[in-house]
Structure 1
């Protein structure tokens, strides 16, 4: 079952169970996927679906950070719940050790030796970890490895 089918089934289940918050999150994700499909003019590939899901996750994490800084516990809790729901649709996240191994391997492949070549390494790492790691985490590991 692909991600979009899972979203559809989970949406029906949330309606049956009267889970308003969960239903709201699923609907917003489905709307984002639909908007992307309209923008591209065709059905979305798995890669494009993951890109949209990652964008939605990133927006919620940024909002969570802002709400926590503003001491808005109510909104912070809502964002944590939405992040938890979204995480069910994303692939399993890589551990730091697994990610470090991919970064080291890519640095060897690209023969990068300084921070000036960070863009080249990031460009090669990100497609390998699509949907499985946060870009900021990858950036930190690449910086650490190249310094």
Structure 2
């Protein structure tokens, strides 16, 4: 079953259970996926759907920090709930050791020697780790490794 089909089935389940907050979050996700499909004029595969989910999750995390800074805990809690719903559709994240090993392997393959090679190294790692690891964390590991 594709990721999009799984999300649609979860939407139906939320409707039947009358779980309004979960249903709203899933509908938001499906709307974002549909918008991306309309923009690109083709149906999204699982990898592209994961990219949409990651984008929405990042937006929600940014909103949580903004709401917390404005002392709007009610809105921050709503965003955190949406993050939890979205996280259920993301693939399992890599461990710290796996990320470190992937960075070391990429450095060995590309022959990166210093900060000037970071862009090339990150391009290789992004292809391998997209959806599996937080790319900001990967970037920090790369900086530490090639410094």
Structure 1-normalised TM-score? 0.95
How far residue 43 of structure 1 moved from its aligned partner, in angstroms, is: 1.1
Residue 120 in structure 1 maps to residue 101 in structure 2: no
Aligned to 1:61: 61
Query: What is the total number of aligned residue pairs between the two structures?
Result: 147
Structure 1 residue runs of 5 or longer lacking an equivalent are none
Aligned to 1:106: 106
Retained in 1: the 8 A contact 2:4–2:46?
Answer: no
How far residue 79 of structure 1 moved from its aligned partner, in angstroms, is: 1.3
How far residue 70 of structure 1 moved from its aligned partner, in angstroms, is: 2.3
How far residue 126 of structure 1 moved from its aligned partner, in angstroms, is: 0.8
| Root mean square deviation, CA, Å | 1.0
Structure 2-normalised TM-score? 0.95
Following TM superposition, the consecutive aligned residue runs of length 4 or more in structure 1 with deviations greater than 6 angstroms are none
DSSP-derived class of the 2:127 partner? helix
Aligned to 1:40: 40
1:118-141 superposed Cα distances (whole Å, 9 cap, x missing partner): 111111101111111112111111
How far residue 104 of structure 1 moved from its aligned partner, in angstroms, is: 1.0
